[in-house]
Amino acid sequence: MESKSQSRFGLGRQSSLAPEREAVGGGGGDEVEEGIDSGIRLMYSANEGDLEGMKELLESGTSVNFRDIDGRTALHVAACQGHRDVVELLLGNGAEVNVEDRWGSTPLADAIHYQNNDVVKLLEAHGSKLPMAPMHVQNAREIPEYEIDPKELDFSNSVDITKGTFCIASWRGTQVAVKRFGEALFMDEEKVQAFRDELALLQKIRHPNVVQFLGAVTQSSPMMIVTEYLPKGDLRAFLKRKGALKPIMAVKYALDIARGMNYLHEHKPEAIIHRDLEPSNILRDDSGHLKVADFGLSKLMRFTKSVKEDKPLTSQETSWRYVAPEVLKNEEYDTMVDVFSFALILQEMIEGCPPFPTKQEIDVAKAYAANERPPFRAPVKLYAHGLRELIEDCWSENPTRRPTFRLIISKLEEINQILTRARRWKVRALKCFQNLEAILKIDVSNSKSRSSRSTIYN
């Protein structure tokens, strides 16, 4: 029978769900008091990785499933500390793998939280499972219409694409892009909420220049979001291969992005801020058009004209190279942050290199805050017809001076018409030149022929 104790084991890393946990190291060699319960001594040995001490305690009759006042066991402690050999010993002696502490955390949940991957694999091999997915419903009638049975997703030929969370899978005979959320999602309420927000947002949007949402897995782990797969990859990879684009191509792509973003910003009843607009989140379809993708950091402007974050955006969440200074400075912001990012992408397409390519991300952020912008190094003729002025307006220090995407589209269409006409004139001139050249060749040939006949007759 399990020992009951009012003692608490407070050393080392605490439960991943404890409200006041502290991720500290081991006991540092402190001596455990002689009169303390043998179960607490077992937890202390598990924390220290003392296999011999644990074997002695278990052989003397100490319960391998002893729980302290917080409901924690030696297996919880070993999982937190990442002692694989200790976990193996405890499991071999009959430790319960799915036991929950007072906060509902299991040894597997603790191992995932502290990123002890070897322990995670060992616990899973012994049947340890996480609780139901955060969005799991008990009544089958409550399962959302977009729900996809994970058994229908074939990952046998899966390949990672764009960011690490995305991969290709086959679904009902069609290749799709799958964004998987690891088990760590269960341990972080913010990540769970971000998943819910992204899912809610994707269900609302339908536009030719926005990636199409197909469904999601929410009733089991890992949870997933499934979207259309665009085999031509993202704009980042394309620009790496191609380098600088011709102005007519850059403007064509810019129009695709602007149209997708204008749809998001004018979405009713709530405008959508992408907040992570960068080349790796813009995909190319089979027809050569671009689509805006990945809404993991997007925001719905619910009954408000601006947004203020509780904490600043980190470089782990997105590349600072394309983020507006008001976001980096954790100030209030609105849809104009996407216009700032758009300006940098448009300039990159013409310049052939990312913004401030030689600077570190932190230095790029400082440059934007100091109102510095990437230099225009490409020939002036590539920025003709107001293209440079448009870019400068879009990355204005004052967000209220940046144009809306509706105005950007109008300006780009004007520039596109000018470039298209110039291209047609150039093609016509080239054809005229080729025709003239062909006529001249014929005349020269005829002249030589007449000269030859004249010589023979003479």
Q: Decide if pLDDT at 311 tops 70.
A: no
- Give the C-alpha distances (Å, rounded to integers) separating 426 from 362, 378, 383, 419, 420: 45, 22, 18, 10, 10
What pLDDT does residue 27 have?
44
**Which pLDDT tens digit goes with each residue over 241-293?**
999 999 999 999 999 999 999 999 999 888 899 989 999 999 999 898 999 99
Which of 397, 415, 433 is at the close of a domain?
A: 415
Say if residue 441's pLDDT is above 90. Answer: no
> Model confidence at 4, in pLDDT bands (50, 70, 90)?
very low
Name the percent of the chain lying above pLDDT 90: 52
pLDDT digits 0-9 by tens, 334-381 = 999 999 999 999 999 999 999 999 999 899 999 999 999 999 999 999
DSSP 51-65: HHHHHHHHHTT--TT
Q: How far apart are CA 71 and CA 74, in angstroms?
A: 10
CATH code of the domain in which 81 resides: 1.25.40.20
Per the residue annotation, which of 68, 110, 276, 334 is the catalytic one? 276
Within this chain, do residues 389 and 349 fall inside the same structural domain, yes or no? Answer: yes
State residue 191's pLDDT score: 74
Give the structural domain span for 186: 140-228
- Do residues 344 and 247 both lie within one domain? yes
Number of domains in the chain: 3
In a domain, 36, yes or no: yes
How many whole angstroms separate alpha carbon 264 and alpha carbon 312? 23
**In the predicted model, what is the mean pLDDT of residues 31-54?**
83
Phi then psi dihedrals of residue 391, to 5 deg: -60, -45
Residue 403, pLDDT score = 98
Cα 114 from Cα 133, distance rounded (Å): 20
Distance between CA atoms of 378 and 388, rounded to whole angstroms? Answer: 11
Chain centroid to CA 241: 22
Task: Give a yes or no: residue 450 inside a domain.
Answer: no
Contact present, 137 and 219 (Cβ < 8 Å): yes
Angle at which helix 387-394 crosses helix 405-457, to 10 degrees, equals: 160
Q: Tell me if 107 sits within 8 A of 123, measured CB to CB.
A: yes
Please give the mean pLDDT across all residues of the chain: 84
From the number of C-beta atoms within 10 Å of its C-beta (0-12, 13-18, 19+), residue 401 rates as exposed
pLDDT level of residue 127 (50, 70, 90 thresholds)? confident
Same domain, 43 and 165: no
pLDDT digits (tens, 9 = 90+) for 419-428: 998 766 666 6
Residue 428 lies in a domain: no
- The verdict on 55 and 177 lying in the same domain is no
- pTM check: above 0.85: no
Pairwise CA distance, residues 263 & 405, whole Å: 9
The lowest-confidence range among 91-100, 221-230, 390-399, 431-440 is 431-440
Is the four-CA dihedral 278, 292, 250, 268 of positive or negative sign? negative
**Residue 457: inside a domain, yes or no?**
no
Please, is 119 exposed, middle or buried when counting C-beta atoms within 10 Å of its C-beta (0-12, 13-18, 19+)?
buried
Q: Is the residue at 360 inside a domain?
A: yes
* Residue 43 belongs to a domain: yes
Strand 213-217 and strand 299-301: the pairing is unpaired
Domain boundary among 108, 131, 154: 131
CA 385 vs. chain centroid, Å, equals 35
Tokens standing for residue 113: 């939280």
Same domain, 37 and 109: yes
Domain match, 125 and 146 both: no
Q: Is 276 a known active-site residue?
A: yes
CA distances from 72 to 97, 99, 234, 254 (A): 12, 8, 47, 56
- Show the tokens assigned to 126: 């012994």
Domain with residue 365: its CATH number is 1.10.510.10
395 vs 181: which has the higher pLDDT? 395
- The Cα-based distances of 324 to 59, 397, 398 in angstroms read 63, 9, 11
Q: Indicate whether 16 and 118 sit together in one domain.
A: yes
In the block, residue with structure tokens 């046998």: 156
- The verdict on 88 and 26 lying in the same domain is yes
Q: Is 226 helix (H, G, I), strand (E, B) or coil?
A: strand
164 pLDDT higher than 70: no
Cα 141 to chain centroid distance, Å, stands at 32
Q: Is residue 423 part of a domain?
A: no
CATH code for the domain of 162? 3.30.200.20
Q: Is residue 451 part of a domain?
A: no
For 402-422, b/e burial (b = at least 16 CB within 10 A) is bbbbebbbebbeebbebbeee
Average pLDDT over residues 90-95: 94
